[in-house]
């Protein structure tokens, strides 16, 4: 088996509250958010039967729908109209079920007979018109990354091959107008271990263009994320790990590259100042303003920066010293830009979910409390909508778990 880079590319395309149809969804996870503020959750608990629940932008939790028996929990995506899709791999075969807005899950549809689980990611997204896009790599690795789109009327279209050697953890985002970006890790050669990041994009209704390597093997990027907006502003962030002089001592730092209006990427920039920086997250607003955040493993801090549309990068700001273990910050496009995270109150033995909003001058305002909840394995689920954003502080694990939704208002941008 080839070495698998631990790169994680989670693609998030979002726009500002003033233009809801243009924002994009968070795609392909056990929970997902739409550009209009829907949330969708897939739960399995400790059994093998999975369930889908969709929450409206007003917080109305829909009835649970049975997906079926699956070995792994299916991934889910939800569109701006409230339609949803779930997908899973079973005995190498990739399957999907589509649920139209206001309807119920349709029958299982075979997408491909050979999909590898070793790439540890299953990209999935629904656009505003109900078209579904997904991606995979075959078990043989031949042809690298493959993508396919399902039209809501004519069904699944032809497979497009994008290539790549040892493709790992691809992620997909779909904007409200149907444009898409997909990014993944790959090796330059079969006999070379360092990773690189490749990106391909498409306009609505068109095939993906030729992939481009945007972060080379000299950076050996690790655990990255990508975000973009409708006009083509793109941010890619990743981790670089370096061994210190003392044996077994490793330093982690966050780096990024940026593109404006569909233009070329600039030079890589070091973003973090803390010494154990991991779990980077990024969001791009309609104006091109970018919100960047990550955690410090050793000190339980969250560090964040703002990059203005002009390219000016604000100074790093420490937002907390009490981040809960095994959690990371979320970057959101609400208002002037928001970073949310989960602190841990040791005295009360409870999580405290907080957020801070970016200011006009590129700083961050004081932290505000969203909720105090019991300790949980999951990070909160967020969805951006016109009044601000919504949150489910404790996402459901089992089909019978409650979905407790709340709205958070923020100042307009």
CATH number at residue 251: 2.130.10
Instruction: Indicate the pairing of strand 10-13 with strand 222-228.
Output: parallel
Looking at residue 329, its pLDDT comes to 96
Domain that holds residue 107: 10-324
- Asked whether residue 406 is assigned to any structural domain, the reply reads no
What's the CA gap between 119 and 136, in Å, rounded?
A: 8
287: helix, strand or coil = coil
- Asked whether residue 236 is assigned to any structural domain, the reply reads yes
- Asked whether residue 53 is assigned to any structural domain, the reply reads yes
Beta bridge partners, 97, equal 86
- Asked whether residue 355 is assigned to any structural domain, the reply reads no
What's the CA gap between 236 and 271, in Å, rounded?
A: 11
pLDDT at 400 over 60: yes
Report the chain's mean pLDDT, rounded to a whole number. Answer: 86
- Asked whether residue 67 is assigned to any structural domain, the reply reads yes
Q: Which one has a higher pLDDT value, 333 or 229?
A: 333
Query: E-assigned strands of 216-249?
Result: 222-228, 234-243
Looking at residue 11, its pLDDT comes to 35
Looking at residue 171, its pLDDT comes to 81
- Nearest CA to 354 out of 376, 382, 377, 333 is that of 382
- Nearest CA to 272 out of 233, 245, 299, 248 is that of 299
| Residue 342, token pair as written in the block | 């989960």
Number of H helices, E strands in the chain: 0, 33
Average pLDDT over residues 154-181: 88
Beta carbons of 108 and 96 less than 8 angstroms apart: yes
Dihedral (CA of 53, 54, 60, 65) sign = negative
- Asked whether residue 56 is assigned to any structural domain, the reply reads yes
Residue-by-residue DSSP string for 150-210: EETTTEE---EEEE-EEEEEEEEEE-TTS-EEEEEEEESSTT---EEEEEEEE-TTS----
User: Which residue's structure tokens are 């370096």?
Assistant: 242
pLDDT in tens, 42-98: 998 767 789 999 999 999 999 999 999 888 889 999 999 999 999 999 999 999 999
- Asked whether residue 359 is assigned to any structural domain, the reply reads no
Looking at residue 2, its pLDDT comes to 40
- Nearest CA to 75 out of 36, 115, 23 is that of 115
Q: Which one has a higher pLDDT value, 143 or 47?
A: 143
Element (H, E) at 12: strand 10-13
Residue-by-residue DSSP string for 354-375: EEEEBPTTS-B---EEEEEE--
- Which span out of 1-5, 18-22, 345-349 was modeled with the highest average pLDDT? 345-349
What's the CA gap between 308 and 285, in Å, rounded?
A: 10
Beta bridge partners, 353, equal 342, 371
Beta carbons of 24 and 173 less than 8 angstroms apart: yes
Q: 83-97, 218-232, 273-287, 359-373: lowest mean pLDDT where?
A: 218-232
What's the CA gap between 74 and 250, in Å, rounded?
A: 35
143: helix, strand or coil = coil
How many domains, the chain?
Answer: 1
Q: What is the pTM of this model?
A: 0.86
Beta carbons of 331 and 291 less than 8 angstroms apart: yes
C-alpha distances out from residue 235 to 46, 187, 238, 267, Å: 37, 21, 10, 12
pLDDT in tens, 172-217: 877 777 888 888 889 887 766 788 889 998 888 899 999 999 888 8
| Residue 153, token pair as written in the block | 């009327």
> In the sheet that 381-385 helps form, which strands lie side by side, from edge to edge?
381-385, 388-392, 405-409
Average pLDDT over residues 133-146: 94
pLDDT at 23 over 50: no
- Asked whether residue 307 is assigned to any structural domain, the reply reads yes
């Amino acid at each position: 088996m080839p070495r698998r880079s631990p790169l994680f590319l989670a693609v998030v395309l979002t726009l500002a509250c003033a233009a809801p149809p243009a924002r994009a969804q968070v795609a392909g996870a056990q929970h997902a958010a739409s550009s209009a503020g829907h949330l969708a959750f897939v739960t399995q608990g400790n059994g093998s039967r999975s369930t889908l629940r969709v929450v409206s932008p007003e917080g109305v939790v829909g009835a649970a729908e049975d997906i079926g028996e699956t070995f792994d929990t299916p991934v889910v995506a939800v569109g701006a109209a409230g339609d949803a899709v779930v997908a899973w791999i079973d005995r190498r075969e990739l399957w999907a079920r589509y649920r139209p807005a206001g309807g119920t899950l349709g029958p299982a549809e075979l997408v491909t007979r050979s999909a590898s689980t070793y790439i540890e990611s299953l990209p999935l997204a629904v656009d505003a018109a109900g078209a579904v896009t997904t991606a995979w790599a075959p078990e043989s690795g031949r042809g690298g990354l493959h993508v396919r789109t399902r039209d809501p009327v004519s069904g699944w279209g032809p497979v497009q091959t994008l290539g790549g050697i040892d493709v790992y953890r691809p992620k997909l985002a779909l904007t409200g107008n149907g444009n898409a970006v997909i990014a993944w890790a790959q090796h330059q050669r079969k006999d070379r271990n360092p990773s690189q990041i490749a990106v391909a994009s498409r306009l609505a209704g068109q095939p993906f263009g030729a992939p481009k390597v945007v972060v080379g093997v000299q950076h050996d990027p690790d655990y990255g994320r990508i975000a973009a907006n409708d006009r083509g502003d793109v941010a890619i962030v990743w981790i670089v790990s370096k061994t210190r002089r003392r044996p077994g001592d490793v330093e982690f730092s966050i780096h990024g590259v940026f593109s404006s209006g569909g233009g070329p990427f600039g030079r890589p920039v070091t973003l973090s100042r803390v010494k154990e920086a991991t779990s980077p997250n990024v969001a791009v607003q309609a104006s091109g303003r970018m919100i960047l955040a990550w955690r410090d493993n050793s000190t339980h801090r969250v560090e964040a920066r703002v990059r203005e549309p002009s390219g000016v990068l604000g100074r790093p700001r420490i937002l907390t010293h009490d981040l809960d273990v095994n959690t990371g910050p979320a970057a959101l496009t609400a208002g002037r830009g928001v970073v949310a995270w989960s602190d841990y109150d040791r005295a009360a033995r409870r999580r405290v979910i907080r957020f801070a909003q970016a200011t006009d001058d590129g700083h961050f305002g004081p932290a505000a409390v969203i909720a105090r909840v019991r300790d949980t394995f999951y990070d909160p689920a967020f969805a951006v909508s016109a009044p601000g954003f919504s949150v489910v502080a404790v996402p459901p694990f089992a089909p019978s778990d409650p979905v407790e939704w709340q709205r958070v208002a923020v100042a307009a941008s």
